[in-house]
Amino acid sequence: MRKAFIVAQSEFLTLVRSKAFLIGLILMPVVMGTSIMLVRATKDATDMKDRTFAVVDYTGVVAEPLTAVANMYNAGTASPLDAVLPRKGPRFIPVEIKPTGANPDELRVELSNRVRKQEFFAFVEVPAEILDPASTVAIRYYSDHPSYNALPQWLRATVNAVVLNERFRRASVDRALVVRLTKQAPINELGLFERGTDGEIKAAEQVNIARAYGIPVAVLALMYITIMSSAPQLLNSVIEEKMSRISEVLIGSVTPFELMMGKLVGGAAASMVLSAIYIAGGLIVVQYWGGGYASAVTGAIVAWFLLFLTLALFIFGSLFIAIGAACNDLKDSQNMMTPVMLLVMVPMFTAGSVLRAPDGTMATILSLVPTAAPFLMLLRISLQPGPPMWQIALSLIIMTCTAVAVVWAAGKIFRTGLLMQGKSATLTEMVKWVTAK
């Protein structure tokens, strides 16, 4: 395998010196960092345009206190109503419209037209029955901006708080007392106690949701980025060698299997470098600016990551290499790549379910599927307390067997496809090459 090593060395140098690698290395963190900073910088200042809305109050007692609360909210002073949160977005300016007593639909049409003319952003009807605790009537909110939900959310909280106040007043109950008596105790989520090697009891740490989910999601994203930026490069390398007839010179010197293994090992090494740089960079960032999250990235997680990444690269890398060898040009290879890309994408689509229920049946089954395991088993390992050891071992055994089978089959396609010129192979032909003695 000395020659495979020489091929790997050349492949590695070509990959890490390529513009695509350098651009990926610099651009990806820059884009992600800029996006995060932009989101943080603009999350409270995205839309500060005043929202003036009409209030049609059929109770006769809601509009006035609603206007008073809105004024306090807009001024940024604390509201006496618990349900009203401090202002983050635009000002909400209510304008009371007295019900005319005529057909309410006439008024609705008139107000709808005023919304269309942009005199109002929306209008809201507070039905008279709402003051009856037994009533199931709803507050009606009319707008031509159905995707804007800050105002209806504010109205739901504020109108309900005003209505509750009025209900308590009518029942001669002191609302402040009720609030005090019904105040709920918060729950403090903690980890587990443990006894250290020196016999001392180590107190449980506060659970940090961002930290508990942030690290697994980051590990998943890094796996995806590394595979997507490395495996397709192998396809490009094979296509280039095939189209420019370099492959014939190479397999005059090395066996096709040595050539393919060299490419896989070189590609895997380049990916390791890429991920090592990302991990190191990420750790430095979170160490200095991430509130000590770096300690959550344990050596075990990094080791599992590298192990799953290696196996994933052998599986996906072999598939991409086989496609490269079977295709006649880049255009054909794009079509053939689609099913393999889907294999990479599917675990990303299902990652949300695994995050919500990492020990559920679906998560367990999916994390044993060899093409999904590098993403989903790794995700489960990163989520505390992690899957049982037998599941990790089983997934590694399945992945290793799959990697061996895929490398073997890809080797057979590679050997034949590399010398085939003029047309791309069909799936049937590829199956024939694999099954041929």
Partner 1 sequence: MSNAISLTGVTKQFNGTRAVDDLSLSVPTGSIYGFIGPNGSGKTTTLRMIMHILLPDRGEIEVLGSRDTAAARDKVGYLPEERGLYKKMTIRRLLRYYGRLKGAPISDLDASTEYWMRRMELPGLLDRQIETLSKGMSQKIQFVAAVVANPSLVILDEPFSGLDPVNAQVLKDAVLEIRQRGATVVFSTHDMATAERMCDRIFMIFRGRKVLDGTLESIQSEYGADTVRIRTSHGAAALAGMPDVESVNDFGQLQEVRLQGDPQAFLTRLVARATVYHFEVTRPSLQDIFVRIAKP
- Chain length of the chain: 437
Nearest-approach distance from CB 275 to partner 1, in angstroms: 24
Shorter beta-carbon distance to partner 1: residue 73 or 433: 433
> What CA–CA distance (Å, rounded) separates 437 from 433?
8
By CB under 8 A, which span of 4-12, 76-84, 115-123, 178-186 interacts with partner 1?
A: 4-12
212 touches 384 (CB < 8 A): yes
The DSSP 8-state label assigned to residue 190 in this structure reads: B
Nearest-approach distance from CB 244 to partner 1, in angstroms: 3
Among 254, 330, 343, 398, binds partner 1 (CB under 8 A): 254
Cα atoms in the Cβ-side hemisphere of radius 13 Å centred on 334: 3
Nearest-approach distance from CB 15 to partner 1, in angstroms: 11
Binding of residue 421 to partner 1 (CB under 8 A): yes
Cα–Cα distance list, 369 to 128, 198, 277, 372, 399 (Å): 59, 42, 29, 5, 8
Sequential DSSP letters for 329-375: SHHHHHHHHHHHHHHHHHHHHHHHHHHH-TTSHHHHHHTTSTTTHHH
DSSP H or E segment with residue 94:
strand 92-96
Shorter beta-carbon distance to partner 1: residue 166 or 429: 429
> What CA–CA distance (Å, rounded) separates 241 from 267?
15
By CB under 8 A, which span of 55-63, 109-117, 246-254, 382-390 interacts with partner 1?
A: 246-254
> What CA–CA distance (Å, rounded) separates 380 from 395?
12
Binding of residue 250 to partner 1 (CB under 8 A): yes
Nearest-approach distance from CB 246 to partner 1, in angstroms: 5
Binding of residue 211 to partner 1 (CB under 8 A): no
Nearest-approach distance from CB 256 to partner 1, in angstroms: 9
Among 59, 67, 74, 255, binds partner 1 (CB under 8 A): 255
Cα maximum dimension of the chain? 97
Nearest-approach distance from CB 233 to partner 1, in angstroms: 13
By CB under 8 A, which span of 128-136, 142-150, 187-195, 250-258 interacts with partner 1?
A: 250-258
User: And the tokens for 268?
Assistant: 């895997």
Build a one-symbol-per-residue string for 223-242: x at contacts with partner 1 by CB under 8 A, - elsewhere: -----------------xx-
Q: Residue numbers of the site for partner 1 (CB under 8 A)?
A: 3, 6-7, 10, 14, 18, 240-241, 243-246, 248-255, 419, 421
